[in-house]
Amino acid sequence: MSPVAPADGDIFEVFVQAGVSNALTHVGSLVTGCPDEAWYLAKETYCRRDDIARLWVVRRGDMIVSGPEDLPALTARTRMPFRQAGYPVARRRDRTGEPVAAPVEVGRPTSGPPSLTALWFALADDLFLLGHRLSRHVVDYIDIEDSLATGSISQEATAHARRIVEQCGLTEAGADAHFFDRPAHCWCPSGVSLCDLDSWPATVVSGLVVAAAVVALAEETLAVDPDPELVPELTAIRTEQAMHLEHWRHWVAALAADEATTAEFTTDCRDIVACAGDLLGGPAMSLPGSRLPTDAADLASVHTRFAALLKESVTGELTDRPTPRAADPTNSPLPAVLRRAKVVRDRYRPGTFL
């Protein structure tokens, strides 16, 4: 008798769960012309050795199965490859051979009033530190909307920080070195960036004052006729930060209204607003490669814009004019914060940028 290909109706697929702790698994198929016998035949064929928790038999013709033509639809190409395990190591650019930038050589402190460039350069530090600080809260999954907002703001704050220092004349690699390889004693962050890093209300107020400072500085810069090529990017930064400001305003209203948080929040608010005057008080600095305006900034005008934005948003006494930043942050939480920011990079082979 010559072999005969079985009809689809005669083929049964067999699924077995051996023991309660194992998964139900496809173990094979069998052919029988008698459907009533299929289950018993499967038991005799596949279930003679183990204790079986479940035995399922399904006629192949009744199953909805994928074929080779469905493979494109099943390929994971639209599912955010950069969020998949292994992506960072496999795909990120390896810059091992590229020259290492000298991060502290870029700007030179000068005397006299700071330029808009110098104010941007200093504010980039606070944006970077805010982005890093917020990243700790991305996994607070109490409210998915807030988790998404915190993640987006964190991501944009860091991206803005990088673009600002690049516009101030740093290369891509230089910007990376500026944030990740600069020793703590060379930093000059605002007091806001180091205020009570563990408290959520303090983080909210810090986020708000940093966003307000960026909006104020962007509006001031756009008002003094910058390089036309910078306008779209500066406008985008201003608008994105205005959206962050709006988000923090909602949080401020919620924390101030809630009896449980209002006392702690009012104290945090007062303390942080009191030291926010130095956000736009970056040191005078010469950055010859900058595309941002390098003339002396109209500090009173910037400060007025900033104060107006804060007045609409929070209570607390802002100083009358920009205050200088504390010179040496070595004895602050900064060294620990910078070490934490670097931790994730230590897991990749040297030279792999994040």
Partner 1 sequence: MTLNDAVGGVLDPEIDVTLAALGVVRSVLTERDRVVVTLAPTRIGCPALGEIGRRVRAAVHRVAPGVAVQVEWLRGTWRPEDVSGAGIRALTSAGYRVAGGDTSCPYCLSDDVTRAGRFGGGVCRTPFSCRSCGSSFDLLGTATCGLRDDIT
Is residue 136 a contact point for partner 1 (CB under 8 A)?
A: no
Is residue 278 a contact point for partner 1 (CB under 8 A)?
A: no
Q: Which is nearer to partner 1, 235 or 315 (CB)?
A: 235
Q: Which is nearer to partner 1, 110 or 152 (CB)?
A: 152
Is residue 158 a contact point for partner 1 (CB under 8 A)?
A: yes
Q: How far apart are CB 234 and partner 1 at their closest, in Å? A: 7
The residue count for binding partner 1 (CB under 8 A) is 34
Is residue 149 a contact point for partner 1 (CB under 8 A)?
A: yes
Letter string b/e over residues 319-334, b meaning 16 or more CB atoms within 10 A of that residue's CB: eeebbebeeebeebbb
Residue 78, both tokens:
């639209």
Burial class (CB in 10 A: 0-12, 13-18, 19+), 8: exposed
Is residue 139 a contact point for partner 1 (CB under 8 A)?
A: no
User: Which stretch in 115-123, 153-161, 278-286, 295-303 sits in contact with partner 1 by CB under 8 A?
Assistant: 153-161
- Kind of pairing between the strands at 52-59 and 11-18: antiparallel
Which of 97, 228, 232, 350 is in the footprint of partner 1 by CB under 8 A? Answer: 232
Is residue 148 a contact point for partner 1 (CB under 8 A)?
A: yes
Taking the CB of residue 61, how many other CB atoms lie within 10 A of it? 11
| Measured distance CA(211)–CA(317) in Å, rounded | 18
Q: Please, what is the Cα angle at 338 between 144 and 322, to 5 degrees?
A: 90
Q: How far apart are CB 149 and partner 1 at their closest, in Å? A: 4
User: Which stretch in 61-69, 75-83, 264-272, 340-348 sits in contact with partner 1 by CB under 8 A?
Assistant: 75-83
User: Which stretch in 10-18, 115-123, 233-241, 259-267 sits in contact with partner 1 by CB under 8 A?
Assistant: 233-241
Taking the CB of residue 108, how many other CB atoms lie within 10 A of it? 10
Strand partners, 12: 30, 59
Is residue 82 a contact point for partner 1 (CB under 8 A)?
A: yes
Q: How far apart are CB 247 and partner 1 at their closest, in Å? A: 6
Q: Which is nearer to partner 1, 234 or 280 (CB)?
A: 234
User: Which stretch in 57-65, 108-116, 142-150, 340-348 sits in contact with partner 1 by CB under 8 A?
Assistant: 142-150
Is residue 246 a contact point for partner 1 (CB under 8 A)?
A: yes
Q: Which residues bind partner 1 (CB under 8 A)?
A: 77-82, 91-93, 145, 148-149, 151-153, 155-156, 158-160, 163, 231-237, 239-240, 242-243, 246-247
